Amino acid sequence: DSGVTQTPKHLITATGQRVTLRCSPRSGDLSVYWYQQSLDQGLQFLIQYYNGEERAKGNILERFSAQQFPDLHSELNLSSLELGDSALYFCASSHSRGGANTGELFFGEGSRLTVL
């Protein structure tokens, strides 16, 4: 158990719909990262937050948005869903910004999104 909690574990929805994925980082971790992993694909970095502020942005679609709240949990919002958005969405957390120490990421179990 990494200490990172993601909900829901599974989600099935239709094209055009909107969903929200939630992540609670490990206790004390200030950074939250979102990754997308499509079937048999690598992890694609979406976005990072550090202590409530956006820190780095990857190939995140404009239809997707995220935020980190004062209690450090984070939400990833996916809207106008398309079939190609079906994937595992992982949240990871680390204590640091990613520079001073190892910066190892601890991953949650992921949210599997299926768009029909």
Q: Which residues bind other proteins (CB under 8 A)?
A: 2, 33, 35, 41-45, 48, 55-56, 58, 88, 90, 97-99, 102-110, 112
Choice between 46 and 78, CB closer to other proteins:
46
Query: Closest separation between CB of residue 28 and other proteins, Å?
Result: 17
* Nearest C-alpha neighbor of 36 from the set 82, 99, 73, 2: 82
Choice between 15 and 54, CB closer to other proteins:
54
Query: Closest separation between CB of residue 104 and other proteins, Å?
Result: 5
Q: Please, is 66 exposed, middle or buried when counting C-beta atoms within 10 Å of its C-beta (0-12, 13-18, 19+)?
A: buried
Choice between 15 and 51, CB closer to other proteins:
51
Choice between 43 and 79, CB closer to other proteins:
43
Distance CA(63)–CA(98), nearest Å, equals: 27
* Beta-ladder partners of 31: 50, 94
Query: Closest separation between CB of residue 44 and other proteins, Å?
Result: 8
- β-pairing verdict for 10-13 and 111-115: parallel
Query: Closest separation between CB of residue 10 and other proteins, Å?
Result: 11
Distance CA(91)–CA(5), nearest Å, equals: 8
